């Protein structure tokens, strides 16, 4: 007889989550199979809910393998790796994990901004490698407080970045496709003009095809030789070849990057660039936030199975976009 499952898990979200999900629901742990969903047949026919992560995504082929699917619960807030068109075409709900990660991603944006401006990563190497003793004074860096902060994408994370700027006495302006009338920050309809105005430009918009290379050579040049670009959104939003060329030519002052076009990125790409602070895509990766994200996935799964409704669905407009 065919085994019946409520949930198919295409990605492991950590031992603790996997155990708690399995304790609560009848789970098919497809992630254990190297061939993924292709390893299964009849078990998939009446499965209503799938669990994945933004890293593993959810493709058209996965939707096709699950004829009774009604909801996909994903870990992470980005949905650039989830095939939302395929979901919309079949009326399948998709949930992500918004809000709970805003603070940690915004904190990291500030860590990168401060590190790129004040060169804390370079200073750390300077002290630990004995250069302080050998060479003496560390070069002067760039002031942060009182400067101008531009934000591309004043959404949940962008707002958390903006709120933190008050502590640095900074003026904030932003660029979205449409202004947010309630936000106490100036709206700039042109991204290039926002970059020309700003000392620091933080990228916090969504990823995906429609924002690919929004930050291009023109925007980078507008930010200028004293300007610093911070990206905690997606590597795809920034034209990395143009960024590297501008950094090498001194046309951009520096960068703080949690996300890159190719992840993991070849070590040589940024070698020797003390004006660049890098992190390996860990914006939300604190113990507290990762636990909250896992809990929200579990709550979405349980809510859907018990009530037919997701707690934090991707908006219908985004599903159809
Ligand atoms: P959100 O609340 O949906 O905000 C996204 C913002 O992007 C909105 O203000 C939106 O405004 C703007 N936007 C979308 N398309 C745009 C375009 N073409 N031009 C200009 N602005 C555009 O999303 P969020 O929760 O803040 O998350 C933002 C992104 O951060 C996620 O999508 C994810 O990729 C990334 N993220 C990264 C990490 C990490 O580890 N580094 C962790 C979590 C999230 P309009 O709709 O008005 O344009």
- Residue 297 pLDDT more than 50? yes
Q: Is residue 144 part of a domain?
A: yes
Mean model confidence pLDDT for the chain: 96
The CATH number of the domain holding residue 84 is 3.40.50.720
pLDDT at 318: 74
Q: Mind listing the pLDDT tens digit for each residue in 25-54? A: 999 999 999 999 999 999 999 999 999 999
Q: Is residue 320 part of a domain?
A: no
Q: Mind listing the pLDDT tens digit for each residue in 112-164? A: 999 999 999 999 999 999 999 998 899 999 999 999 999 999 999 999 999 99
Nearest protein CA to atom 48 of ligand 1, as residue: 177
Ligand 1 pocket member 97 (CB < 6 A): no
- Residue 303 pLDDT more than 60? yes
Q: Which band of pLDDT confidence, cut at 50, 70 and 90, is reported for residue 320?
A: low
List Cβ<8 Å contacts ≥24 apart for 241-245.
Answer: 242/216, 242/217, 243/215, 244/269, 244/270, 245/217
Q: Mind listing the pLDDT tens digit for each residue in 204-241? A: 999 999 999 999 999 999 999 999 999 999 999 999 99
Domains held by the chain: number: 2
Q: How far is the CA of 229 from the centre of ligand 1 (A)?
A: 16
Based on the domain organization, do 13 and 144 belong to the same domain? Answer: no
Q: Which band of pLDDT confidence, cut at 50, 70 and 90, is reported for residue 317?
A: low
Q: How far is the CA of 156 from the centre of ligand 1 (A)?
A: 8
CB-CB contact of 101 with 79 (8 Å): no
DSSP string, 70-106: -EEEEESS--TTB-HHHHHHTT-EEE---STTHHHHH
Give Cα separations from 169 to 76, 200, 230 (angstroms).
31, 14, 18
pLDDT at 1: 45
Q: Is residue 164 part of a domain?
A: yes
For ligand 1, what atom is nearest to the CA of residue 179?
47
User: Best substitution site from 107, 159, 205, 296 to test ligand 1's pocket, by max atoms within 8 Å of Cβ?
Assistant: 205
Domain extent at residue 263:
101-278
Strand order, beta sheet including 49-53:
27-28, 7-9, 49-53, 71-75, 93-95
């Amino acid at each position: 007889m065919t085994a019946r499952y409520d949930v198919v898990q295409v990605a492991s979200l950590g031992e603790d989550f996997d155990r708690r999900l399995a304790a609560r629901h009848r789970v098919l742990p497809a992630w254990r199979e190297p061939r993924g969903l292709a390893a299964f047949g009849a078990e998939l026919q009446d499965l209503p809910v799938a669990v994945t992560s933004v890293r593993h995504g959810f493709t058209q082929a996965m939707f096709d393998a699950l004829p009774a699917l009604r909801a996909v619960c994903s870990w992470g807030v980005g949905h650039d790796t989830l095939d939302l068109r395929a979901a919309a075409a079949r009326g399948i709900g998709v949930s992500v994990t918004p809000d709970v990660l805003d603070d940690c991603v915004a904190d990291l944006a500030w860590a990168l901004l401060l590190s790129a401006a004040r060169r804390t990563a370079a200073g750390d190497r300077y002290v630990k490698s004995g250069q302080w003793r050998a060479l003496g004074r560390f070069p002067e860096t760039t002031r942060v407080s009182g400067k101008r902060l531009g934000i591309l994408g004043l959404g949940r994370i962008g707002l958390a970045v903006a709120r933190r700027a008050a502590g640095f006495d900074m003026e904030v302006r932003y660029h979205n496709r449409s202004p947010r009338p309630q936000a106490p920050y100036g709206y700039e309809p042109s991204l290039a003009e926002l970059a020309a105005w700003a000392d620091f430009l933080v990228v916090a918009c969504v990823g995906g095809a429609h924002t690919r290379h929004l930050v291009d050579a023109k925007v980078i040049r507008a930010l200028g030789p004293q300007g610093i670009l911070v990206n905690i959104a997606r590597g795809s939003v920034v034209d990395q070849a143009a960024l590297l060329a501008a950094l090498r030519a001194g046309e951009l002052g520096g960068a703080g990057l949690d996300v890159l076009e190719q992840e993991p990125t070849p070590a040589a790409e940024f070698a020797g660039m003390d004006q660049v602070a890098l992190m390996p895509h860990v914006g939300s990766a604190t113990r507290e936030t990762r636990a909250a994200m896992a809990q929200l996935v579990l709550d979405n799964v349980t809510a859907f199975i018990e009530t037919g409704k997701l707690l934090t669905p991707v908006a219908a407009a985004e599903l159809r976009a």
